[in-house]
Chain A
Amino acid sequence: MNTPPQDERGASIRLEEVVFGYAGAASMRFDLSVEPSSIVAIMGASGSGKTTLLNLIAGFEAPSAGRVLIGEQDMAGVPPARRPVSMVFQENNLFAHLDVAANVGLGRSPALRLTSADQEEVSQALAQVGLAGKEKRLPGELSGGERQRVALARVLLRRRPILLLDEPFASLGPGLRREMLALISDLHSRLGMTTLMVTHHPEDAREIADTVAFLASGRIEAVGAAAHFFSEAGPAGFRHYIEG
């Protein structure tokens, strides 16, 4: 548990006939295959199942049927901490009472027992996301963008081959969002993590994604190259969603 997988490249993700249902709601069904080290934009209307899809991969929800495979390994019964996955939420990625260094350090030791080498790595990770010297700040003293950078620094420290982003920039202004996208794309080019990003903004997808998966009412309606999706020949449902 204390030594996360050192695999620095991305892993493939495959969902085979995964069925999932909340009590009192229509069940969802996902079939998806993601190439290692690709960046996939997950798009679709609210309630179409985007977050559920990520939760299934991260292990926060268990499918009622079907298989989730990461790097060809069946994830059934594997708890979230043992999956080769890091996830960044829209907010609440940090514990408000712990300083920035501790929040990042949790990525190395969940009981926060850090050696001086670990602390050195924490500082390096913070420097990589542009937060050098802010180790002792509390999350409340940071801006929304800085808080998400801290979460990304923790992702760096964990070195998992898969990164799940659940609208992590939704509460940021357009300028900050572009900056964060650049940061993600920079991290990706260096580490090659397979990245799934839920977003409502077509420009996010256009900027960094090579693949788009479009969800509608609990199903993956279409998957394809981003260039194709945003061309005139893109799927009708998707064009309707982004153009209104």
Chain B
Amino acid sequence: MAVAAARTFDHANPRVAAGVIALAAIGLLIGGAFVGMVWEAARDWSGAVSAFDGYMMRVARFTLWQAALSTVLSVVPALFVARALARHPRFFGRAMVLRLFGVPLALPALVAALGVLALYGRAGYFAAPLGYLHGGQWPGIYGLSGILVAHVFFNLPLATRLFLHALETIPADQWRLSAQLGMNARASFRLIEWPVLRSSLVGVAALVFMLCITSFTIVLLLGGGPRATTLEVAIYQALRFDFDPARAVALVAVQVTLVAVSVYLLTRLGADLAAERGLPVAPSRPVFAGPVERIVNGTLILLALLFVAGPMAAIVAAGLQADLMRLALDPAVHAAAATSLVLAFLAAVLCIALSLCLVGGRHALSQMRGGRPPVALESAMGSWAAFVLVIPPIVIGAGWFVMLRQTGQLFALAPVMVVTVNAVMAMPFAMRAIRPAYDTAAARHDRLAASLGISGATRWRLVDWPVLRRPLLTGFAFAMALSLGDLGVIALFGSDAVQTLPYLLLQRMGAYRTADAAGLALFLGLLCLLLMTLADWRARPSR
């Protein structure tokens, strides 16, 4: 046993080293941001302290309030939609509904926000009927209502899928049993479905809450004025419009505190923020719902479907109305598309490299320790890395912004910031795709490869690449899609010199060229959807 461990140790060393380097790089990115903050706070502490005023308190309160409301409005209906889907495992279009519920996850927040505006905005498709109900000119849904609609659009389908996943773990025999015992819908909810839903409720609500409390793009586009601003948007405004780094530092401190306290409380409640999210498959089990329940469930599913499909349809409809020919010939669009693709590609490459280093390092360390409990380094490469998910990109961006602003090279560094921050943000997802395959492959091949003397590049080419190709592609496509659609970092660092597609889209919107924005949103949405479909491809078994 000890001999085997020692032997693996020799071969494992470079992997551990690579893992440590990756960890250090991530630490540098995140730590550097905080150093920038602390330094700025020390330099201008009176400015930072005076930023804690009534406005700040209002913004902090609104941040929490909108996140809490969004969570309730997403999670509670999702419980019932998921239940309805679980009660009817076979109906025409069920697979399509589930696919459609997966689309918001793949859409950039920017595109979704535009879809919501195109539907419910002042000049949206629903403006006339809504105005009629409103009794006058429809004012549009800026402010809290807009933020809530967009958040629910994202999180209702997500929560539904997660709850459905939980419900699918109920053994088919128990559904049969409930049918045989004659449980009605209420009894079966109370005795069978609710216990399962309750156990995943905290986790799902926690996830949605974290996504909403760190939401930037949606609030930036749909929030209205100082009354509907979150901390993240306030950080952005302090840096880009008020040139008030001291205030930004104070805001970041509040945001980081809020996030940290939320994470602490939610994990104490039993939420696993780094949990696996899979696509539920329809099981083969019979349907026993009565006629009334069928109608209720059908209505529920249909309403959820309309709510989710509405903004998507609006994106397509508004996008097709744009002068796509002119957009396609616009050199600014070409430049932004090229910049976006290059940066997203680089971010994906970096993301995969970091993930592979961490996954490899973690595995090597777990081999070396044998049966002993994991050392901190191994945990750092494993579960801790997943926690970068809760660090908002805007916060990292703001830290570096504050630190680099004196160099005069701020906007030249934009590409570096976009690539690194997005790579690190996508890393938890990439690691989740890669790690299971890597660990299985390593367990299967390590000894064989060592005994045959296959190592280094040869080993990579002959042994690792064929097995890891698919999960690597998944992680890559996911990272690229995430990076393509990101508005957070580029909103801070973007300039006329460095424009990505989301940045250009935001500019066109600001210049009231709404049709252009709609056309770009359609293009961006399709691009991200394509990449996400590619990423989902691995869901099918390779043999």
Contact = CB atoms under 8 A, between A and B. Distances in A.
B176 interface: yes
Contacts of B177: 87, 89, 92-93
Contacts of A87: 176-177, 180
B184 interface: yes
B27 interface: no
Q: What does DSSP make chain A's interface, helix, strand, loop or mixed?
A: loop
Interface stretch (A30-38, A105-113, A189-197, A220-228): A105-113
Contacts of B288: 79-80
A110 B182 contact: yes
A98 B176 contact: no
Given A60-B179, A61-B286, A110-B178, A89 B191 contact: no
B171 to A, nearest CB: 4
A59 B287 CA distance: 11
A132 to B, nearest CB: 23
A15 B191 CA distance: 34
A158 B192 CA distance: 20
Nearest to A87: B180
B298 interface: no
Contacts of A92: 171, 173-174, 177
A111 B173 contact: no
Given A111-B186, A112-B187, A97 B176 contact: no
Interface residues of A, number: 29
B370 interface: no
A95 B174 contact: yes
B75 to A, nearest CB: 21
Contacts of B173: 89-93
Nearest to B171: A92
Nearest to B290: A79
Contacts of A111: 183-184, 186-187, 190
A199 interface: no
Contacts of A55: 176
Q: Classify chain B's interface size.
A: 20 to 34
A106 B181 contact: yes
B62 to A, nearest CB: 39
B180 A98 contact: no
Interface in B156-183: 171, 173-174, 176-183
A85 interface: yes
B180 A81 contact: yes
A85 B180 contact: yes
B14 interface: no
A185 B190 CA distance: 35
Nearest to A102: B191
A79 B177 CA distance: 12
B195 interface: yes
A1 B181 CA distance: 9
A111 B183 CA distance: 6
A82 interface: yes
A105 B190 CA distance: 15
B11 to A, nearest CB: 42
Nearest to B194: A97
A107 B288 CA distance: 18
Given A79-B288, A89-B173, A112 B180 contact: no
A80 B179 CA distance: 6
Nearest to B170: A92
Interface of A: 1, 22, 55, 58-61, 79-83, 85-87, 89-93, 95, 97-98, 106-107, 110-112, 158
6 shortest A-B CB distances, which residue pairs? A81-B182, A92-B173, A92-B171, A110-B183, A111-B187, A80-B179
7 contacts: A58-B180, A61-B286, A79-B182, A81-B180, A110-B181, A110-B183, A111-B190
Interface of B: 171, 173-174, 176-184, 186-187, 190-192, 195, 284, 286, 288
Given A61-B286, A80-B176, A81-B183, 12 more contacts: A55-B176, A58-B176, A60-B179, A60-B286, A79-B179, A80-B288, A83-B180, A85-B180, A92-B173, A93-B177, A95-B192, A111-B183
